[in-house]
Amino acid sequence: MTQFLLLILDVVALAAKLYPDVVAAIHAIQTSTTTSEEERVQALEALRAQLTNDVARVAAVTFKDV
């Protein structure tokens, strides 16, 4: 029973951690289906700039020697 409760707490904690990503994904889906063509083009341009920055952030990650 205790292990079951701990598992529930784990799932709740993970849901809380993932919450901003879930919100972002839902927002993207809403944006993609409800906005005008011009707004979509602007969203794609903003994403392109963001992803350029993301590529640099991913490349900057380092790993420890084990």
- In whole angstroms, the minimum distance from the beta carbon of 53 to another protein comes to 9
Which residue do the tokens 């993301």 mark? 54
Site string for another protein, 20-59 (x = CB under 8 A): -xx-xx-xxx-xxx---x--xx-xx--xx-xxx-xx-xxx
DSSP code at position 35? S
- In whole angstroms, the minimum distance from the beta carbon of 35 to another protein comes to 9
Residues of the chain by 3-state class (helix, strand, coil), percent to 5: 85, 0, 15
What are the start-end ranges of the E strands in 1-66? none
For residues 42 and 50, is the Cβ–Cβ distance under 8 A?
no
Residues of the shown chain interacting with another protein in the complex, contacts defined by CB under 8 A: 3, 6-7, 10-11, 13-14, 17-18, 21-22, 24-25, 27-29, 31-33, 37, 40-41, 43-44, 47-48, 50-52, 54-55, 57-59, 61-64, 66
